[in-house]
Structure 1
Amino acid sequence: MHHNDITETLRGGGTAVGYWTVLDAPVATERVARAGYDYIGIDAQHGLMGYDGVLRNLMAVDAAHAAAGIVRTAANDPVCIGQALDAGALGVIVPLVDTPEDAAAAVSAARYSARFSGRRSYGPMRSALRIGPRPADSDRETLVLAMIETAEGLANVEQIAAVDGLDGLYIGPSDLMLAVGGAYPADPDRADALEAAVERTRAAADAAGIVPAIHSLDGATAKRRLDAGFRMVTIASDLTHLEAAARAHLAAAKA
């Protein structure tokens, strides 16, 4: 798949596996984008980059000619969402969506059409090279996913999933663990509560006919999520894998 194909695949019931980047390291991003992932998630919320880093990483993804660039925006804000899309992202993952109104605001910020109460300002600086430049093309091909990561978002997940124009629900397991009462993201005492929340979110997405998506720490966990019915799964991050690889090689050298 390349770029726009992922939208058709996901909306048609298919699956996609992606990788997460938090570093402003476009050379590394370009290499990872050639590894066979369907998309590269670029983190503008917790990632160590500003708008320039997002732009550079999107250009690196496109240079690989193999994957789509999807941005987790810094906030559910029309400026953040519009900038990510104008920079060439195929879609946005919007954090901290707590209510159907929050989800509708994210959709509105990403769409032009009056059908979605579109508020996206027209200025497709790079996106016109990949989507459009007609607004109708952009509305059709752009993905919008809402993050379910808070207690309020989980309580409203079925209503959020039903919002017109939303393409998927994206679970942030670390924050969702905290939302269900975990003391820290990997708290074993709340593992069952987390899995119940994960399954509720997946079922809500399925019932609404949109994409159930989730972040995972490694390939084995990603495989388990795909087997459980998730159709969009992101793996790890470049920073955590860099550290893990460095530690493993050091351990081998000192063994």
Structure 2
Amino acid sequence: MAARERGTGGPESFVARLRRRERLVGYWIACDNPIGTERVARVGYDYIGVDGQHGVMSVTGWQTAMLAVDAGQRAAGVIRVPSVDPIAIGAALDAGARAVIVPMVNTPEEAAVAVAACRHWPNGTRSLGGPVRAELRLGSVPGELDEAVACVVMIETAAALENLEEICATPGLDAVYVGPADLSVALGGRYFGDPEVEANLGKALIRITEAAERAGVACGIHCMDGAAAARQLGEGFTFATVSSDITHLAQIAAAHLAAAGAPEASGPR
């Protein structure tokens, strides 16, 4: 069912709903495949997150992905940039992203840099882009542009946990987002899903949701499947992203191979 059909109002209201800490469900795109991205963006997710950190897309790919998401006018386009780099953040917003997710943020000072990169003078350091994709969707008035895009920083390191309350309290920050894989390693796990750190990860997630709630910012998490997203949304998170296109491509291909009677099918390697 499409986002508009669920009464959410479509991509134009995404940032406002994020700031109100409403329940939002997104999907993750890692492949540079605009045709596939457009199909997924029409399914009914509230937002489509495009991976500019670990995916295979260049800045040109970000722009194409945002075009694909916008084509259906159902989901909001979001880009995870490679780092706390104002140039990359500006490029993502100029490409038409309605929010940026900034990885590996360790301190409130780094969070403040990310926020400033999303805002124009006098509230930030973003350069007014002129006739680029952002202007077509969001206009050209600096204050209106600032109101129309969200800054989300990731909590996924030991330093981020140490500075959690200060990061959440960063003026102008809209949301924090948990990367459970890196966070698991930061807590001493040998790999994502290591049972040795499961209890500590659970405690960290509770601490993060509570800190975000006290600060009045949204709190999201990346999940391996829809069932996990539903659980996390029931445990204090306000938005959740489901898996990724590249993961589901391999899973579905392997499942159909097994269903076709190939006993050697064992899933992706």
Q: Is TM > 0.5 for Structure 1 vs Structure 2? A: yes
Task: Pick one of 74, 87, 91 that aligns with 1:79.
Answer: 87
CA distance in 2, matches of 1:25, 1:190: 35
CA contact (8 A) 2:80 2:101 kept: yes
Give, as a single letter, the amino acid of the residue that structure 1 aligns with 2:232: R
Check if 1:91 corresponds to 2:74: no
Structure 1 residue 94: deviation in Å? 0.3
Structure 1 stretch displaced more, 35-44 or 198-207: 198-207
Task: Pick one of 215, 227, 232 that aligns with 2:222.
Answer: 215
Where in structure 2 are the equivalents of 1:14-25 lying within 5 Å? 14-25=22-33
Matched length:
253
Where in structure 2 are the equivalents of 1:24-173 lying within 5 Å? 24-115=32-123, 118-124=124-130, 125-173=132-180
CA distance in 2, matches of 1:216, 1:13: 18
CA contact (8 A) 1:20 1:237 kept: yes
* SS across alignment from 1:9: helix
Task: Give CA-to-partner distance per residue, 1:100-134, whole Å, 9 cap, x none.
Answer: 0000000011110423xx11011141011111211
- Percent sequence identity is 49
CA contact (8 A) 1:18 1:40 kept: yes
Aligned match of 1:197? 204
CA distance in 1, matches of 2:240, 2:103: 16
Give, as a single letter, the amino acid of the residue that structure 2 aligns with 1:199: I
Structure 1 residue 192: deviation in Å? 0.6
Structure 1 residue 4: deviation in Å? 2.4
CA contact (8 A) 2:78 2:100 kept: yes
* SS across alignment from 1:144: strand
* Runs (5+) with no aligned partner, structure 1: none
Where in structure 2 are the equivalents of 1:178-189 lying within 5 Å? 178-189=185-196
Task: Give CA-to-partner distance per residue, 1:28-67, whole Å, 9 cap, x none.
Answer: 0000000000000000000111111111111000001110
* SS across alignment from 1:76: coil
Structure 1 residue 14: deviation in Å? 1.1
CA contact (8 A) 2:206 2:236 kept: no
Give, as a single letter, the amino acid of the residue that structure 2 aligns with 1:62: D
* SS across alignment from 1:92: strand
Please give the TM-score of this superposition, normalised by the length of structure 2. 0.92
CA contact (8 A) 1:113 1:139 kept: no
CA distance in 2, matches of 1:221, 1:160: 26
Aligned match of 1:247? 254
* Runs (5+) with no aligned partner, structure 2: 1-8, 263-269
CA contact (8 A) 1:24 1:53 kept: yes
* SS across alignment from 2:101: strand
